[in-house]
C-alpha cells in the first residue's frame, strides 16, 4: 500500500494541477462554484480526495451511502390526438405553472363546436315554436271545453240530441290530445337544448385541452415531439423537472436505518462539489428490506440487504440555486443515527456565497 500511495498522490496531483497552475473552468454539472478555482481551493479539494482514499472514519453516530440526485419528473401528455402545431419551449427552459408547452391543431374540433352551437340555436327555435303551439292548443282546448259544457247543459235539459253531445265530447278530447302533443314537443326541444349545450361544453373543453400547459413550475428536461408530428391521445409531449422536489435515496443496513426517523437532519456532499455540504432532511424510511440497487458501485455492496432512506433538499435552498439543480449528479448522503449527536466538522453546512 505504501508503494502505491505516491502513485495515487501523483495522479491526484495531476488532476488538480491545472487548477493550481492557472485558472480552469469548473464543469457546468457541478454544484455552484466560483468561475475559477484558486490554488488554495485546489489544495482543499486534493486534501478532501486524499481523506476519502485514506478512509477517514466518521463518528459511529453517522451513517452514509452513495447515491444520485433525483429530481421529480413530470410527464406532460396530450389528452387528445392531433397534429402538433406549435411547441414554443426548448429543452432547458424554465416554465411556470399554466405556461403553454405545446398547441395541437384544433381546426377540426372548432368546426364541430360551430356545428354544436348551431344545434343549440335550432333547439331553442324549436322550443319557441313548441311554446307558441302550446298556447294555441290551450286556447283550442278551452274553446272545446266551453262548447262541450254548453251542449251538456242543453242535453240534460232536453234541448239537444245525444249526437251533438258526443260530437262536442270528441272535439274536447281532440283538443286535449293536441295540447299534450304540444307539451311533449316542448319537452323534446328542452332536451335537445340540453344535449346541444352539453356538446358545446365538451367541445369547448376539447379545444381548451388542445393547448397543453405546464402543470407546475419546472424545467423542460426533454422535448418528446416536434412541430408537424401527429401525436396520439395520451402521448407524452415533454418531460419537466420539478425543481422544488429534489432528493437522494440512500441504502442503509438495518442497524442504521432502524435508528433513522422521518424529519431527521441529513447532509449531502456532491462529487463535483466536495467543498460544499448541503443540508437535507429525511422524508422516507422504507419498512421493507431490499437488495442494494445496481447503481451502487461494488458487487459486495449490491449483495447486501438494505433499507431505502430518502433525504430531501429544502425548497428554499433549491430556489436559491435553481439554475444549478440537475438530476443524476453523484454524491454521498449522511444521516445521524443519534439525533442528539453533533455533526462533525467536515459535515457542517457549507454553501456557496
CATH number of residue 87's parent domain: 2.40.50.100
15 lies in some domain = yes
pLDDT greater than 70 at residue 15: no
- Same-domain check for residues 51 and 2: yes
Give, in order, the Cα–Cα distances in Å from 304 to each of 126, 255, 299, 332, 335: 76, 13, 9, 18, 19
Q: Which three cell numbers stand for residue 30?
A: 457541478
281 lies in some domain = no
Predicted pLDDT at 340 = 86
151 lies in some domain = yes
Predicted pLDDT at 44 = 57
Of the pLDDT bands very low, low, confident and very high (cuts 50, 70, 90), residue 21 is very low
What would the mean pLDDT of 256-285 be, rounded to a whole number?
92
337 lies in some domain = no
- Same-domain check for residues 46 and 80: no
Predicted pLDDT at 294 = 58
* 32-51 tens-digit pLDDT: 433 444 555 555 554 555 45
Specify the higher pLDDT residue, 259 or 213: 213
- Same-domain check for residues 119 and 169: yes
Q: For the chain, first and last CA: distance in Å?
A: 39
What contacts 27, CB < 8 A, 6 or more positions away?
272
Indicate the pairing of strand 100-104 with strand 211-213.
antiparallel
Q: Which three cell numbers stand for residue 248?
A: 437522494
| Count of domains observed in the chain | 3
Predicted pLDDT at 17 = 40
84 lies in some domain = yes
Whether 70 contacts 242, CB under 8 Å: no
Q: How far is CA 286 from the centre of its chain?
A: 24
Whether 67 contacts 333, CB under 8 Å: yes
Predicted pLDDT at 277 = 93
If you average pLDDT over every residue of the chain, what do you get? 82
- Same-domain check for residues 87 and 3: no
Q: What are phi and psi of 218, to 5 degrees?
A: 180, -175
- Same-domain check for residues 127 and 178: yes
| Structural domain range at position 2 | 1-56
The Cα–Cα gap between 333 and 180 comes to: 80
CA angle 308–57–281, rounded 5-degree value = 35
User: 112-116, 168-172, 179-183, 302-306 — which one is most confidently predicted on average?
Assistant: 112-116
Predicted pLDDT at 9 = 40
What would the mean pLDDT of 226-236 be, rounded to a whole number?
94
Amino acid at each position: 500500500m505504501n508503494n502505491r500511495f505516491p502513485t495515487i498522490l501523483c495522479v491526484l496531483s495531476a488532476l488538480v494541477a491545472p487548477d493550481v497552475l492557472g485558472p480552469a473552468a469548473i464543469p457546468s454539472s457541478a454544484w455552484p462554484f466560483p468561475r475559477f478555482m484558486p490554488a488554495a481551493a485546489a489544495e482543499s479539494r486534493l486534501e478532501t480526495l486524499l481523506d476519502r482514499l485514506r478512509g477517514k472514519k466518521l463518528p459511529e453516530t453517522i451513517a452514509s451511502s452513495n447515491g444520485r440526485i433525483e429530481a421529480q419528473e413530470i410527464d406532460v401528455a396530450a389528452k387528445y390526438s392531433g397534429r402538433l402545431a406549435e411547441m414554443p419551449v426548448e429543452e432547458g427552459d424554465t416554465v411556470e405553472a399554466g405556461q403553454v408547452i405545446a398547441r395541437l391543431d384544433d381546426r377540426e374540433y372548432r368546426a364541430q363546436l360551430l356545428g354544436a352551437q348551431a344545434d343549440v340555436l335550432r333547439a331553442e327555435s324549436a322550443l319557441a315554436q313548441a311554446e307558441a303551439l302550446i298556447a294555441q292548443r290551450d286556447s283550442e282546448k278551452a274553446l272545446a271545453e266551453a262548447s262541450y259544457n254548453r251542449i251538456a247543459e242543453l242535453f240534460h235539459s232536453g234541448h239537444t240530441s245525444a249526437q251533438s253531445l258526443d260530437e262536442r265530447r270528441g272535439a274536447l278530447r281532440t283538443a286535449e290530445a293536441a295540447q299534450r302533443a304540444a307539451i311533449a314537443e316542448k319537452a323534446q326541444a328542452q332536451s335537445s337544448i340540453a344535449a346541444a349545450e352539453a356538446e358545446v361544453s365538451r367541445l369547448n373543453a376539447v379545444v381548451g385541452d388542445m393547448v397543453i400547459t405546464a402543470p407546475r413550475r419546472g424545467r423542460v428536461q426533454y422535448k418528446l415531439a416536434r412541430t408537424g408530428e401527429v401525436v396520439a391521445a395520451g402521448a407524452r409531449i415533454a418531460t419537466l423537472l420539478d425543481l422544488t422536489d429534489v432528493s437522494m435515496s440512500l441504502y442503509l443496513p438495518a442497524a442504521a436505518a432502524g435508528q433513522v426517523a422521518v424529519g431527521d437532519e441529513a447532509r449531502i456532499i456532491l462529487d463535483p462539489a466536495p467543498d460544499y455540504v448541503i443540508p437535507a432532511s429525511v422524508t422516507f424510511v422504507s419498512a421493507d428490506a431490499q437488495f442494494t440497487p445496481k447503481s451502487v458501485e461494488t458487487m459486495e455492496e449490491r449483495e447486501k440487504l438494505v433499507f431505502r432512506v430518502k433525504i430531501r433538499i429544502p425548497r428554499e435552498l433549491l430556489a436559491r440555486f435553481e439554475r444549478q439543480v440537475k438530476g443524476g449528479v453523484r454524491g454521498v448522503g449522511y444521516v445521524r443515527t443519534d439525533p442528539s449527536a453533533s455533526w462533525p466538522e467536515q459535515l457542517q453546512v457549507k454553501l456557496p456565497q
